[in-house]
Amino acid sequence: MEFYGTSLASRLMLGTAQYDSPALLAESVQSSQASVVTVSLRREAAGAQAGQAFWSLIKSLGVHVLPNTAGCHGVKEAVTTAHMAREVFGTSWVKLEIIGQGDLLQPDVFGLVEATRILTEDGFQVFPYTTEDLVTAERLLKAGAEVLMPWGAPIGSGRGLNNIFGLRALRAHFPNIPMVIDAGIGRPSHATMAFELGFDAVLINTAVAKAGDPVRMGEAFRLACEAGLAGFAAQPIEERDMAVPSTPTLGLAQGLAL
């Protein structure tokens, strides 16, 4: 798995918010074997001392850091946040989030395209959090994005993959573009389904952080990702509307007539 030329050992990415303690976050990352964690600049800068301790913890995990622009509602705010994040975290990667609708936290796809263009021209490697819309995907790629992060469902909803048809169409239309299912995944089985559809990675936060046992859930998602990848590589059978007998009747011995 590669993002912008960077090879990753794992296709599982974890968010770092909502954990009950830094130790629990660290253990969950380790049990999941995630290779990337997302970090909000707002959390890092919330308090100087607390922010430094949190950043030290993240660096100790030995994973790639993907700063995000969580909480931004406009292009200017997102671009400014991305520039600050690059200085703080020392990476040109940025998960670009621009929220356009409050109830569902749905991405503002118009602002997203504009901000992607601006940030790409400024040397950023953009991971846009978007919908499964094909037109938006096309515009983001033309604006300079080389990775797409379509949502599975609204952030934190745990609903899984809401629009299977749309996601399958997106994957088929852009077969060579790395894609990460982001947001809405609530169970390990949802992650498995994402890989079975051909997606390249998944990003999980709430489903692990707020689980009854985050460490064990991190491991469960690791195993689910492995199962989904193996299942996709094994080429699953096509779905059918009618039954097909697994044991054929042709050639079987017939009972004697009495």
Q: How far is CA 228 from CA 31, 105, 178, 207, 254, in A?
A: 18, 28, 16, 18, 42
Instruction: Enumerate the active-site residues.
Output: 95
Taking residue 165's Cβ as centre, other Cβ atoms within 10 Å add up to 8
pLDDT at 28 over 70: yes
Neighbours of 80 (CB within 10 A): 14
Per-residue pLDDT of 130-139, as tens digits, reads: 999 999 999 9
- Residue 245 falls inside a structural domain: no
Domain that holds residue 129: 8-234
Structure tokens at 51: 């922010």
Q: Does 184 reside within a domain?
A: yes
Paired tokens of 78: 């997102």
Q: Measured between alpha carbons, how far is 3 from 213 in angstroms, rounded to an integer? A: 30
Kindly state whether residue 205 falls inside one of the protein's structural domains: yes
More confident site: 248 or 20: 20
Rounded CA separation 65/41 (Å): 11
Closest CA to 13 of 159, 112, 127: 127
How many domains does the chain contain in total?
A: 1
Contact status, residue 179 vs residue 167, Cβ threshold 8 Å:
no
Q: Cα-Cα-Cα-Cα dihedral of 110, 114, 116, 121, to 10°?
A: 170
pLDDT at 104: 81
Q: Please determine, for residue 43, whether its predicted confidence score (pLDDT) is greater than 60.
A: no
Greater pLDDT, 236 or 219: 219
Does residue 249 form part of some domain? no
Is residue 102 one of the residues assigned to a domain?
A: yes
pLDDT band at 88 (very low <50, low <70, confident <90, very high): confident
243 domain-assigned: no
In the chain, % of residues over pLDDT 70: 92
What are 112-124's pLDDT values in tens digits? 999 999 999 999 9
Question: Cα separation of 190 and 5, whole Å?
Answer: 27
| Section 3-12 average pLDDT | 94
From CA 237, how far away is CA 243, in angstroms rounded? 13
Is 42 a domain residue? yes
In a domain, 101, yes or no: yes
Residue spans of beta strands (DSSP E) within the chain:
2-3, 6-7, 12-15, 36-40, 64-68, 93-96, 99-101, 106-107, 125-130, 149-150, 180-182, 201-204
CATH number at residue 228: 3.20.20.70
In the prediction, which pLDDT does 51 show? 65
Residue 105 scores a pLDDT above 80: yes
Q: Which amino acid type is present at position 186?
A: G
Q: How far apart are CA 195 and CA 191, in angstroms?
A: 7
Of residues 158 and 117, more confidently modeled: 117
